[in-house]
Amino acid sequence: MAEIVRFAPSPTGNIHIGNARTALINWLVAVKSGGEFILRYDDTDQERSKQEYADGIAVDLDWLGIKPTRVEKQSARMAAYDEVAQKLKDMGRLYPCYETADELDRKRKRQRARGLPPVYDRAALKLSDEEKAAFEAEGRTPHWRFLLDQETVAWQDGVRGEQSIECSSVSDPVLIRGDGTYLYTLPSVIDDIEMGVTMVIRGDDHVTNTAVQIQLFNLLNGKAPKFAHHNLLTSATGEGLSKRLGSLSLRSMREEGYEALSVAIFAVVIGTSDPVQPLADMGALAELFALEKVSRNASKFDMADLVHLNARILHETELEAVSERLSALGIEADEAFWLAIRGNIEKLTEAKDWWAIARDGLLDDAVQKNAEDADFYAKAKELLPAEPWDGTTWKSWTTAVKNATGRKGKGLFMPLRVALTGRSHGPELAAFLPILGSQRTLDRLS
Ligand code: GLU
């Protein structure tokens, strides 16, 4: 069945790899089913929502390869929400409450002290018109709660299987704040109905909301969409991601030079039954992915694994796929350069170092030549073949140096590598030597 899905971020910050997981899983389900992907900004919180974050999210999704078929924002749809809210008030399912945050807090403490669950006691339902008027005269404006049916709400979750929630243990949720703004709960349901969303896929921190929203769907539309709640990602030490944004934001990953494909594979595949592995493209990821493979437990992830995957992908990437980004880094790479260095970088930005080494000179942190090797270097210089050079030059040169000096293995190759590159690890020198050329090689041996 062609699924209509949506990714519904609040544009209150940069999105991170955990949000990317939600977006990508929705995208893959849309692609696999030949359906649609709606990008919907949950921006009812006007104070915290910012256009620059909304724009940034669009750029991040585009980078990952996600192309929304439709873009919506809740702030443009207030009239629709007001209409439904009025309907719920008329039905007696949305009721005004006047408690302050402090009063609610004290109520919960008293309940806990008596061994009761801290569920809202519905005291506001019993207020008379005079009492409400008195609160308003005091300057209090009401927030509005949804009167839940105290039933068991059950659904077949696309990831978690059979789920059920006892609504008598859930507080009637606040749908409208004291300042008149909507929390995302009701607008989300109204939008999902109007936009024909067939499956809601989101993090499992929303499982309780789902029971509430299924009641709203049934009330407003007679039926609810399918739901799937994926597990959340946590840092290696088990913390949630929201507090640790910084380096985990997609934007910073892009700026640091990660491949979009590695980030996409990593964000989706960790926490599933598949191993993290290089894949050719998003199509291959779509082929691999299935909701049923997603684990029900939170998934710890380690940036080192992403770096490793990124490196494996780069090692097989063709020049054509990266040449524009290399140009943006100031690298006008040809095939020979790229093939020589791609196996020695973990992120594309590291190509800058090799470009500088190949063209300009050794880097500031270069490993120094050993003074005791002076004679060896003099001999190597003397035996350096004249250009033109090709892939066989290294072999014929080092064979000659070996015969003349009696050195072999590491004792032969390491001093040459250090002199030519300033590093003790790096590209195959057979490939790198022709890029360096005779003049630079002679200079560096001196
Ligand atoms: N704005 C909500 C969030 O980012 C959306 C949840 C949903 O997908 O329904 O958590």
Radius of gyration of the chain (CA): 31
State which of 5, 6, 10 you would mutate to test the pocket of ligand 1, scoring each by most atoms of that ligand within 8 A of its C-beta: 10
Check pocket membership of 26 for ligand 1, CB cut-off 6 A: no
HSE-up (13 A, CA, CB side) for residue 321: 14
**338-352 mean pLDDT:** 97
Buried b (16+ CB within 10 A) or exposed e, 370-393: eeebeebbeebbebbeeeebeeeb
Strands 94-97 and 143-146: antiparallel
Q: Which residues, 6 or more positions from 390, have their beta carbon under 8 angstroms from its beta carbon? A: 434
Q: Is 36 in the pocket of ligand 1 (CB under 6 A)?
A: no
CA of 191 to the centre of ligand 1 (A): 12
What is the pLDDT, as a whole number, of residue 245? 59
Closest residue (by CA) to atom 4 of ligand 1?
Answer: 9
SS3 assignment for the chain = CCCEEEECCCCCCCCEHHHHHHHHHHHHHHHHHCCEEEEEECCCCCCCCCHHHHHHHHHHHHHHCCCCCEEEEHHHHHHHHHHHHHHHHHCCCEEEECCCHHHHHHHHHHHHHCCCCCCCCCHHHHCCHHHHHHHHHCCCCCEEEECCCCCEEEEEECCCEEEEEEHHHCCCCEEECCCCCECCHHHHHHHHHHCCCCEEEEEHHHHHHHHHHHHHHHHHHCCCCEEEEECCEECCCCCECHHHCHHHEHHHHHHHCCCHHHHHHHHHHCCECCCCCCCCCHHHHHHHCCHHHECCCCEECCHHHHHHHHHHHHCCCCHHHHHHHHHHCCCCCCHHHHHHHHHHCCCHHHHHHHHHHHHCCCCCCCCCCCHHHHHHHHHHHHHCCCCCCCCCHHHHHHHHHHHHHCCCHHHHHHHHHHHHHCCCCCCCHHHHHHHHHHHHHHHHHC
Query: pLDDT of 373-408, one tens digit each?
Result: 999 999 999 999 999 999 999 999 999 999 999 999
0.85 surpassed by pTM: yes
Percent of the chain with pLDDT over 90: 94
Whose alpha carbon is nearest atom 10 of ligand 1?
A: 9
- pLDDT for 241-267, tens place per residue? 765 556 689 999 999 999 999 999 999
Q: Report CA(265)–ligand 1 centroid distance (Å).
A: 22
Q: Residue 246: its pLDDT value, please?
A: 67
**CB of residue 10 inside a 6 A radius of ligand 1:** yes
Strand partners, 71: 39
Pocket test for ligand 1, best of 10, 75, 184, 242 (most atoms within 8 A of CB): 184
Atom of ligand 1 nearest to the CA of 19: 4
Name which residue sits closest to atom 6 of ligand 1, judged by CA. 8
Q: Sorting pLDDT into bands at 50, 70 and 90, what band is 240?
A: confident
**CB-CB contact of 265 with 308 (8 Å):** no
Is 188 touching ligand 1 by the criterion CB < 6 Å?
Answer: yes
Q: What is the pLDDT of residue 243?
A: 52
Tell me the pLDDT of the chain averaged across its residues.
95
Neighbours of 92 (CB within 10 A): 9
Residues of the chain with pLDDT > 70: what percent?
Answer: 99
- Ligand 1 mean position, distance from CA 140 (Å): 29
- The preferred substitution site among 12, 193, 202 for testing ligand 1, maximizing ligand atoms within 8 Å of CB, is 202
Segment 198-202 shows an average pLDDT of: 98
**Higher per-residue pLDDT: 305 or 245:** 305
Does the beta carbon of 393 lie inside 6 Å of ligand 1?
no
